[in-house]
Structure 1
């Protein structure tokens, strides 16, 4: 059985990893080879596509960090969780994060991501 709390933590770790080589390793360890990531801004597949989108998002949100926002809700091979992103050191201090999202993830039998469906609840204009 998949530990979805661990999957969500590792997923957030990917978004916070700024070293390109380390991020690629984390993407490869977490997603299946044909895994997908879809949100309002992207529809990418495979390790290179996912890593490239994360790198582009990090470039646009330079200096931001991501964190889970609330518990992970899961059943069968899927989970949902909220997250937030803001300037490093500002999250959790009572201020409103400029970026908030909600993701649904689907895993294979080994607990690796096959699909991520992302939604943006709040984002900069």
Structure 2
């Protein structure tokens, strides 16, 4: 795994969220994530609060496996990028420690020319350098 270039990996990672071609998006998901890879996201505060009010101790959104990961990436693309409103960009370069890579990303509103959000990505890689766990912390 030492041959994995962390910066190259996160550039592909950000690229898949902006990718307009569904076939390329699907193939990139397969290249980036392990077959049983998982993407975990703490939901927006209002959704989290509603889950807690229903008796859940916490709320976490999860996409597991290539089919669910592709659906997750596709949904984000269709909602934010396809209309031409946003693009996702790397805000802070990759940092790597053994099998973990972290970086910060941002959403950029193309019409307004400004950053509108972002977060921290915490990626855990498997022995082949593919993502086995993807923890997303939205700012």
Q: Using structure 1 for the length normalisation, give the TM-score.
A: 0.86
Consecutive unaligned residues of structure 1, counting only runs of 5 or more, are none
Q: 1:79 aligns with which of 88, 101, 110?
A: 101
Which whole-Å CA distance do the structure 2 matches of 1:21 and 1:99 have between them? 28
Change (3 A) 1:81 1:90: farther
Which of 46, 56, 66 is equivalent to 2:65? 46
Aligned to 1:59: 78
The alignment partner of 1:109 has SS state of coil
Equivalent residues of 2:89, 2:108 under 8 A apart? no
1:28 — aligned with what? 30
Q: Specify the alignment match of 1:108 in structure 2.
A: 126
The CA deviation at 1:40 is 1.9
Question: 1:18-76 deviations in whole A, cap 9, x for unaligned?
Answer: 21111001000111100000112330101110110111112221322111002211100
Larger radius of gyration: 2
RMSD: 1.6
Q: Which runs of 5+ in 2 are unaligned?
A: 44-60
Counting matched residue pairs gives: 117
TM-score w.r.t. the length of structure 2 is 0.78
Q: Distance in 2 between matches of 1:14 and 1:26?
A: 6
Higher helix share: 2
